[in-house]
Structure 1
Amino acid sequence: MRSYAVVGPERHGVVIHALRLAASSPALSAGLVRISTPDVATASADLRRALAGRDSAMIQVTDHLLGATPSDAADLVEDLARTTPLALCLHDIPQPEEGEARFARRRTAYRRFVDSASVVVVASEHERALLAECLDEHASNTRVVVLPLPVERVNTPAPERYSPRKGPARVAVLGFLYPGKGLEHVIDAAGRVVARGREVEVVNIGGVSTGHEGLVKELALRARQAGTTFSVTGYVPERDLAHVVRDVDVPVAAHLHVSASGSINTWIALGRKPIVLAGAYTRELAERMPGAVTIADDVAALAPAIERAVESPDSTWLGDDVQLGPSWAESAAAHENVLRSIS
């Protein structure tokens, strides 16, 4: 029997993505092994039991969902691979910008993931290149498949008429708040727009990643010093997200080292055209879906891009002619094919 394993809490981005794939595929849904135990050690033991005797399995993988440390996560995957052929969908590929010690730990774990797998899946050509850098000269015969993240348009048409907001223009970043999300650059850019005579506020739509609660006060102080404000909505249920996203004046994604982004794709799927920082992944996205994003060449270009968006609200909504993809059904079918290839 083929299994499709999803480990982690309901609100984690990887879990949300993985479960929506399962919901889009009768085959993945039929083989779904769902482990949501909060304790990582217990979840690992549950996964071992659940996959025992299975013919093959696809697992959605980021190291911190499978172990207390990257090494623990790699131990688990190696144990599973001894008895079950694995297709690993790798997320959060390690990058040197994480810091030398963290990168070294995670790179070693991801090398072990690759060695354990019959095939690995990444979400962009940029991630394929990052994975190759992780492997460096480490030889591996494991096949690597690129399956782009699904981007399927939700019925959220742009307003027929744009009217100025009463009060500050709302500049928003979407998703969990954590270091490296680029909020400090968005806040600084908003401050420069304020200095030019426009009222602007910055909002993070989403909750705060565990362990980074202090970041909210730091960013709020930075915003006050820049002449603007910063706030966090907290977790927004799926049923309310489209309404919240429609109420934003300027959608922004300012990750400096993004390799694949569910938050950017969520902006796009909900009809918005976010401002993104130039990088390998965002250029790849722009080439694959022309007209889906507005690229700011660097951090210094964020302020003028935000100001232009405030002046021209229609530029923050997708045109009807923008072609998105793959759909969730197409992506799920591609994942099915990968899993079937190792059975």
Structure 2
Amino acid sequence: MIQRLARVRSPLTLALLVAAAVVFVQALLVPLFAGPAVNQAPRDLPVVVAGPPQATAGLTQQLAARQPGAFEIRTVPDAASAEQALRDREAYAAFVVGADGLTLYTASAASPTVAALLTQAMTESPTGTPVRVVDVVPGDPDDPRGAGFGSGFLPLALTSVLVGVALTLLNLGRAARLTGLLAYGVLAGLAGAAVLHGWLGVLSGSYLLNAAALGLFTLAVSATVGGLGTALGPAGLGVGALLVFLVGNALSGVASAPEMLPQPWGTLGQWLPIGAGGTLLRSTAFFDGAGAVAPALILAGYAVVGLLLTLVRKDRSSSDPAVKGALPN
């Protein structure tokens, strides 16, 4: 497309075409980012109900009728099972019916947005009695609303895209490209975890596990962009940046939860690096690794395929006329 624009001889025509093309892209990006935010609401949100069979049956019916399609409800026998489901990342919340009434168990570390939404919605039980709220898995006390966690992904994704672009445009050899991507993943993971964990205090858990999660995420992003750029040229860099950064960021659900986005976009976002990276980091930081297998495999797949694609283009050797001309006689 750029080559076609370059063949347009009239500067005025070229300027108008560039302006129209940018506005067209802008018209697509605005709903991509604003649409999911405007339409946030629970959609098949995994929750559990615990208590005596007769009470849980009635509560399940009331929850389903209150907001059809909002919850994917599973029944467990008691409060201990409900709490374990939250710690295993099998549910975002639990409604526990006991002798003292209804108690809402939340896991704000999984999604502060969901925890706040359910807490606000359940200020009173369906029977009109007050509801006690227990945060089973809280987020880091220095980041109770999760704003730092969500905001931390944007610069990591952006710099990872830039690394993939830079290593491609520098026209390095296979070994250098591969070494650069692997080194970046290790260093970005260690540095990112040091900032988010030690400096800003928005992550809990093991520093090394968080560093491994961030390293795998940044490697997946940079290798995907670099691999597509190596295999397809400038068009591949554009596709990689669009897929990984623009689309992936909008559909990631990092700031809320994938079940809060319109479907199937919330599910699709979990198959892209930023969505998988956010889920993996929450698992390592707050849930002792529970729920980490699927996002780790997704990121590893992006990383492996991206690294393999970076090996497509041959090294430039002294037989290359451009290199030979640059060598001293």
Pairwise same-fold verdict (TM > 0.5) = no
Higher strand share: 1
Higher Cα Rg: structure 1 or 2?
A: 2
Higher helix proportion, which one? 2
TM-score with structure 1 length normalisation?
A: 0.24
